[in-house]
Structure 1
Amino acid sequence: MQAIVLKSQGQLEIEERPLPEPFGPRQALVRVAATGICGSDIPRAFDAKAYHYPLVLGHELAGVVEDAADSGLEAGRRVVVFPLLPRPEDPFSLIGEYAVSSGYDYYGSRRDGGLQHYLWVPRANLIPVPGHVSLSEAAMTEPAAVSLHAVNKVRVVSDAVALVIGGGPIGVMVAQFLRIRGCTAVYVAEPDQRKRAVVQSLGFEAIDPATEDTVESITERSNGRGADCVVEAVGLPGTFEQAFRACATFGQLVLLGNLAGSLTLNEKLVSTILRRELTIYGTWNSKVTPAGHSEWDEVLQRMGKTLVVEPLISHRLAIEETPAMMNAMYNRTTWFNKVIVQMDAEQQ
């Protein structure tokens, strides 16, 4: 089989590998059809953030069961892969809170992931894909579930105004879930014109922070009160500060973006948090429990209906195009939104 292998920092090569072997009971061999490139894959590949070398990246993936073995599934079933492999004895694993557990394994970071043709996957990590969802769309289930997990933190109040800071794929999916959950008005702040166009095509009002102050804009558009729900989906010190200041009294703030740099909470900003009695949530990953009723299940049922992901896909790549594209993404020499690698072009 072919695999895109991170041999060392910044060195991605396509190589032939033997088929992998199962590593436990109740597993199925999955032929990977589509794998998304996550923002975290880029520093992992180029900024020495990999756990080890060699490594096959890719934790956003969908495919088809090739060999059902003892999994209880049937060959030919289309599936998505939940990438976290929990340590069963961890106390948080026992209550289904895998993302905050310790000692877990993870496809695409701690073990080889979806930028190869085949993976053995435990049955508990496989979720069937509904017939109305393509496998390219299904490869976006993981980031969509991360978006839903963030939105599930907040309590949507009557006539709620929401602000999402960051109009990339996760930010736009957050905006859609805020609308689904009942926010009356959802605004998205995004400086990139092409991404703003996608935002607007999905029915949201976009704020251009390059030409208008995000906090002043949301304050004006909410008749002076600010946003009842703010989700920060960028991860910059400046956008973190904006997120605090954009909140209305009794507002709720979800910190979703991984912070790059240092954030100083000065006296005025802390006073804003205290006097407005803000509620601040951290969010991490997503939940695949309870089985059949999880965030992943909701994403797949909504996808292509109330959750639209197709316009977010800017590139569909062949395997041989992927190393050069990832280099371009790292060096910012090309525009991109969501990049999907078509590992099996016939199964999309």
Structure 2
Amino acid sequence: MKSLVIDKIGHTTFRDIPAPTPGTGEVLVDVRHVGLCGSDLSTFNGANPLVDLPRTPGHEIGGVILETGADVAEDFAPGSRVVVIPYTTCGECPACLRGRANACQFNQTLGVQRDGGLCDRIALPADRLILNDTLPVHHLALVEPLSVGFHAVSRGQVSTDDTVLVLGGGMIGVGAILGAKARGARVIVSEISARKSETLRKLGAEAVIDPTKTDLAQAVDEITEGRGADVVIEAAGVAQTFRLAVDLAPFTGRIVYIGYAKGEVAYETKFFNLKELDIRGSRNATRTDFDAVIAYLEQNGHLANLLISKVFKWEDATQAFDHWVAHRDETFKILIDFGKDA
């Protein structure tokens, strides 16, 4: 069978690999759609320190069950549609023992530390699959990236009384926007791409501010009548926004970091104490977050359609990363369609 491989920086190619068979406790999934993630793009650009090349990318996967191995529950019947949870859990590290397996110390994410889903078929443990026959099949691959933003909202303990400032309007930031809106919060977004701004407003952002053209702190102050944003969610992953989150957070505010800056970040730590900030990291997502996203998309499928910027047929998938590089300021999500749904 075929897989798409990032074999060197800035280049992808198809390779033939052995077709998998499901082992004990595993399910063979016929891959239908895969979303490309920012981490995949970083791998393509040679900027992902967690990845060794060559690597098959892809951890945003929707598919259909083909067959099951031994000791798999009858619910996982052939023909059922599934969303893939792409993370592993060791069950023994401090995070797992505390019931927070999404932050497993030894996690290996599909497409990052191990080969991912850009292939015809993939065998996965049954407990890494969520059965779902209600979402449109092309929306299944949107669940994982949105769940990352929903998890950040959960980490920030966002409530209906909060104003949330999201720094970065890419796909992970979109997950935070939708997650905050689902909890009844007010949302402001900082995003430099004018082409994304209209869509971000349609998704529920009250205001979208370009910090290169407008004083962000002043704009947030005006919108919130001097209160500031109760929760600041950093979804850009650059040093400037890491520091900006601390500057913009009000006294006793909450900060959640989803991305991570590629280099060291210098802070004036006095603001941590003076403002008595709650600063939290956010990694991956929990099953609860996946379920929340699925419930949201079941009620708001029209919004999901706004997020699909470009669809490539499987046979044209080698063009996808080059397209994203050329159209980054207007791209939310690129999907690879394996053409098996007719």
Does TM, normalized by the shorter one, top 0.5? yes
2:88 pairs with one of 85, 89, 110? 85
Matches within 5 A, 1:221-300: 221-266=223-268, 270-288=269-287, 294-300=288-294
2:25 maps to amino acid: R
Q: CA deviation at 1:95?
A: 4.8
The aligned residue for residue 172 of structure 1 is: 174
The aligned residue for residue 2 of structure 1 is: 2
2:337 pairs with one of 317, 329, 342? 342
Q: CA offsets, 1:276-307, max 9 Å, x none? A: 2211111111112xxxxx22122112214257
More deviation, 314-323/188-197: 314-323
Matches within 5 A, 1:1-348: 1-22=1-22, 24-47=23-46, 49=48, 51-70=51-70, 71-72=72-73, 73-131=76-134, 133-156=135-158, 159-183=161-185, 185-204=186-205, 205-266=207-268, 270-288=269-287, 294-306=288-300, 308-330=303-325, 335-343=330-338, 345-347=339-341
Gaps of 5+ in 1: 289-293
CA contact (8 A) 1:4 1:319 kept: no
Q: TM-score, normalised by structure 1?
A: 0.89
Q: CA deviation at 1:68?
A: 2.5
SS in 2 for 1:227: coil
Q: CA deviation at 1:117?
A: 0.7
Structure number with the higher helix fraction is 2
Q: CA deviation at 1:58?
A: 0.5
Q: CA offsets, 1:195-233, max 9 Å, x none? A: 111011223221122221111110111111211111111
Q: TM-score, normalised by structure 2?
A: 0.90
CA distance in 2, matches of 1:209, 1:103: 37
Q: Go from structure 1 to structure 2 and tell me whether the alpha carbon gap of 1:258 and 1:19 turns closer, same or farther (over 3 Å shift).
A: same
How many residues are paired up? 336
Q: Go from structure 1 to structure 2 and tell me whether the alpha carbon gap of 1:54 and 1:235 turns closer, same or farther (over 3 Å shift).
A: closer
2:200 maps to amino acid: V
CA distance in 2, matches of 1:161, 1:101: 30
1:33 maps to amino acid: R
CA distance in 2, matches of 1:279, 1:11: 42
The aligned residue for residue 291 of structure 1 is: none
CA distance in 2, matches of 1:79, 1:108: 18
Give the share of equivalent positions with the same residue, in percent: 30
CA distance in 2, matches of 1:97, 1:333: 33
CA contact (8 A) 1:162 1:227 kept: yes
More deviation, 102-111/212-221: 102-111
Q: Go from structure 1 to structure 2 and tell me whether the alpha carbon gap of 1:162 and 1:46 turns closer, same or farther (over 3 Å shift).
A: closer
CA contact (8 A) 1:189 1:207 kept: yes
SS in 2 for 1:139: helix
